[in-house]
């Protein structure tokens, strides 16, 4: 009888790819799931849920993302400081007008699993309101080792 070994990637073997995503005309939730897939590394054959094998993601044109239905009017962002009277509610319209990049960051953060790897994955997400970003030369080689 033949035995098979399960492949376990090593951290030194992880290759972090760079992904450039244009958010112009994209629906926020669908964009967030695509970004979360690249950050976790689920698009790779070497994916392992206990390791961080994902890549870098650059999102441009955050100002041009859209929401479907009445969400742009009804959506609220809620937070609480933990102190009495520390509850805050901010409407989507206000948040989007002030910081359109924060809207995408919060959506992607909600799509990632709540574990020890979440902060490392979110650190590899870079969101920009317009087309300009400082990572132009990174996409020529498409890969960077960890």
**Domains, the chain:** 13-66+100-132 (3.90.1180.10)
Q: What is the pLDDT of residue 136?
A: 78
pLDDT in tens, 57-109: 999 999 999 999 999 999 999 999 999 999 999 999 999 999 999 999 999 99
Name the residue among 37, 45, 47, 1 with its Cα closest to residue 125: 37
- Residue 28 Cα distances to 50, 76, 90, angstroms: 27, 14, 17
pLDDT in tens, 113-145: 999 999 999 999 999 999 988 887 776 444 443
Q: State how far Cα 8 lies from the chain centre.
A: 25
Question: C-alpha angle with apex 135: 129 to 139, nearest 5 degrees?
Answer: 115
Per-residue tokens: 92: 């989507």
């Amino acid at each position: 009888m033949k035995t098979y070994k399960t492949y376990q990637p090593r951290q030194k073997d992880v290759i972090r790819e760079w992904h450039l995503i244009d958010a112009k005309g994209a629906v926020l939730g669908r964009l967030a799931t695509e970004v979360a897939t690249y950050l976790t590394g689920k698009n790779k054959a070497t994916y392992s849920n206990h390791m961080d094998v994902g890549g870098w993601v650059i999102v441009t044109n955050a100002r041009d993302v859209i929401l479907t239905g009445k969400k742009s009017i009804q959506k609220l962002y809620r937070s609480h400081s933990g102190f009495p009277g520390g509850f805050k509610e901010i409407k989507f319209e206000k948040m989007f007008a002030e910081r359109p990049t924060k809207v995408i960051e919060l959506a992607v953060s909600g799509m990632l699993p709540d574990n020890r790897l979440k902060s490392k994955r979110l650190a590899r997400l870079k969101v920009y309101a317009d087309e300009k970003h400082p990572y132009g030369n990174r996409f020529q080689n498409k890969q960077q080792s960890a």
